[in-house]
Structures are given as structure tokens and as C-alpha cells.
Structure 1
Amino acid sequence: MARPRIIYIHGNRTMHWATAWTPWLRDELRNLGFATEFQTFPDSIAARREYWLAFLRDHLRAGPDDVLLGWSSGAVAAIRYAEREKIRGSVLVCPYTGLDDELERGSGYFDEPWDWPAVRSNQEDVAVFHSDRDPFIPQGQFETVVEALDAVAFEIPGGGHFLHQREFPELLEYLRLTYG
């Protein structure tokens, strides 16, 4: 099977896609021969569902040959996208199912129940990367996503929310072994 295109979805409150480990990962993936899309999404601060899912569908044309790589609220967008669209797989970094946060409540991602069976059946592979010490997302959130999607889980000790890492070798290795 051909290598998929890796589409990166950053989190909310982001002015530009290139933060922390993401420039390094993009370069490493390209060096391995992957096609990639690392772009700043419209409405990047609020990350509203109506704009982000349309951007994935209409601008990036995410589909069955693509892997969505979402970080934080970008992972939430990837989950919602897979409810209705076929993709090759998703890699969810610090995903969650809802936080008591005003910006999150206004995003539109949490206005309806999750259709976990649809999310799972619309893709071949799902992986979750999280830390044992995320300062923003409770551990139970990760467990919920892993269980609901029968995902492969990777817990990175001391990783926090992965904001301070300049490299993310575990993530690169997963992508290389699974899709390379």
C-alpha cells in the first residue's frame, strides 16, 4: 500500500502551525518520502468546528489516502472529521472529549454526542499519544478516547502537553513503522 499523506491539525490558541516539535516532524517525514500538509488553519485561535472541518474537506481534501495527525483540539477535529469521512488513519496527540473551558465550549465540537463506532469504522488505524503529566487534560480523557476507538496508546513519561519538545521521535517512529 502506498504511503499516505500526513495532514497535521494544530491546536487552538495557535497563531502558526510551526510550534514545538512540528517543524522537526514535518522535515523528518518529508525526508522519509511522505507527502505532508502542515498549514495554519483558519480561525486558529477559536478553532471552530464549522471552519476547521470545512478546511479539511474543501481545501486540504482529506480522504481515504490520508492520515490526520491532530494535536490537542486538532485531535478533537480529527475525531469529528472521521465521524463522517473515510480516512486512512489518525494519530491523536493529547486528545480529549470535552473540557470545562469557555473557548472549547464555543468551538462546536461538543454540541452533540460522539459517534465512536463511526469514527472507528471510517479508518484503519488509530493511535493516541499522551503524557502521564499533561497540565491541561486529565488522564481519564485519554483513557476514554483509547477505549472508545480501540486505539494503540503511547504514554510518554513527563511529556506534559508536548509544548517544550523540539523533537518527537516516538511519534516519528510510529508513523514510519505503520505507514512507511
Structure 2
Amino acid sequence: MKVLFIHGNGGCTAAHHWYRSAAKELSPLGFDVVLETFPDNIIAHQDIWLNFMEKQLNGDSEVILVGHSSGALAAMRYAETHSLVGSILVSACHTDLGDPTEKASGFYDTPWQWEAIKANQQWIIQFHSEDDPLIPVKEARFVRDQLTPEYYELKNRGHFMGSDSGGKDFPELVEVIKQKF
């Protein structure tokens, strides 16, 4: 089974935050982990990112998507039209929050297909922190209410970046994947 990590925008790369430590823990468990820096990692245009995901996944439906921030948007948009095992959404939102860079990504140009996102996967897990400085918790709760995922609202984790939690680990994420398998 493949696990594809989808980092956030703003220049984020596969080397940032908790991505490598989580990937390192999942690989020995038999997962085929894909952790690469996406092209166009400043704005994260939807068409570029979804095309990159298509190439990485090559039609495989035995996939878990792990999307952080803009990566969560990409995971949700991908799930609108593709079958997956499941997805993990970290710091997900559903609006551009009035940010011109977010608006330019294209992720918000069409209505969300919430029912398709749910129907195309066996499960969805969502993480958010009450103190996220970039995505208000009400955004995450709206996504939660639409997708009815297994939802974890944590405290003092900010935007789940390495500096937010005092380190680069995200043990809760790895643990929920282990529990699923």
C-alpha cells in the first residue's frame, strides 16, 4: 500500500516539519512511502498539484493520502474523482480565508464535492489544533461536519509545523495509521 505525503504551500518542501520522521516510521511497516517536494510549492496551483499526484500514483487506488494545509486541499480534491483507501487531513480548510495567494491556487474555484470525497474512500482522519494561527478552527470544524471523519482536535500544536510543537514529530499521525492496519 502506498502512502503519499502532500506538504503545504508557501515554499514548504518534503524536508520540512514532521514529514520525514513520519515517513521513516511508516516505511518499516511495509508501506510504499512517497515523500517528494511538489512542483510549484509556493502557490500550489491545483492543476499542477493534481497532475503531479496522478503521475505519482499512476492509477493506484491502494493509497493513503496524508495532506498538510494546502496538501489537505489537494487530498480532498483528488478524492473527489479517485478511489482511495483513505486520507489524513492535517490543518484543512475549505475557503481561501481572504488570502490572495490561497485564492490563486485554484482549490477554491469550484464547490466542494463532499459526498464524493466521502464515497471514494474507506475512511478519513482529520487533525487540527485549536491554536492554529493560519487556519481558524472553525474552518476545520466545517470540514469535519461535511466529511464526518475520525476527528482529532488537539491543543498547542499550532499549524503542525516543527516549531509549533517544539520538534518535528507527529506521533498521533503515525499511531492512527498503525491502528488502521
1:175 to 2:177 alignment: yes
Q: Aligned letter for 1:128?
A: Q
In the alignment, the residues of structure 2 paired with residue 31 and residue 55 of structure 1 have an alpha-carbon distance, to the nearest angstrom, of 25
With normalisation by structure 1, the TM-score equals 0.94
Specify the alignment match of 2:53 in structure 1.
Answer: 56
Question: 1:59 offset after TM fit, Å?
Answer: 3.4
Deviation track 1:88-119 (CA, whole Å, cap 9, x = no partner) reads 11000000001211111000110011110011
Question: 1:68 offset after TM fit, Å?
Answer: 0.5
1:114 to 2:109 alignment: no
Question: 1:139 offset after TM fit, Å?
Answer: 0.9
In the alignment, the residues of structure 2 paired with residue 145 and residue 105 of structure 1 have an alpha-carbon distance, to the nearest angstrom, of 18
Specify the alignment match of 1:21 in structure 2.
Answer: 18
Question: 1:143 offset after TM fit, Å?
Answer: 0.6
Are the aligned partners of 1:63 and 1:85 in contact in 2 as well (CA < 8 Å)?
A: no
Match of 1:42 among 32, 39, 42: 39
In the alignment, the residues of structure 2 paired with residue 10 and residue 132 of structure 1 have an alpha-carbon distance, to the nearest angstrom, of 20
Question: 1:154 offset after TM fit, Å?
Answer: 0.8
Question: 1:132 offset after TM fit, Å?
Answer: 1.1
In the alignment, the residues of structure 1 paired with residue 16 and residue 150 of structure 2 have an alpha-carbon distance, to the nearest angstrom, of 25
Q: Aligned letter for 1:156?
A: L
Specify the alignment match of 1:155 in structure 2.
Answer: 153
Specify the alignment match of 1:102 in structure 2.
Answer: 100
Specify the alignment match of 2:27 in structure 1.
Answer: 30
Specify the alignment match of 1:139 in structure 2.
Answer: 137
- Counting aligned pairs with the same residue, the percent is 38
Give the root-mean-square deviation of aligned CA atoms. Answer: 1.1
- Residues 123/14 of structure 1: CA separation in 2 closer, same or farther (3 Å cut): same
What runs of 5+ residues in structure 2 fail to find an aligned partner? Answer: none
1:166 to 2:168 alignment: yes
What runs of 5+ residues in structure 1 fail to find an aligned partner? Answer: none
In the alignment, the residues of structure 2 paired with residue 37 and residue 127 of structure 1 have an alpha-carbon distance, to the nearest angstrom, of 19
Specify the alignment match of 2:85 in structure 1.
Answer: 88
With normalisation by structure 2, the TM-score equals 0.93
Q: Aligned letter for 2:132?
A: D
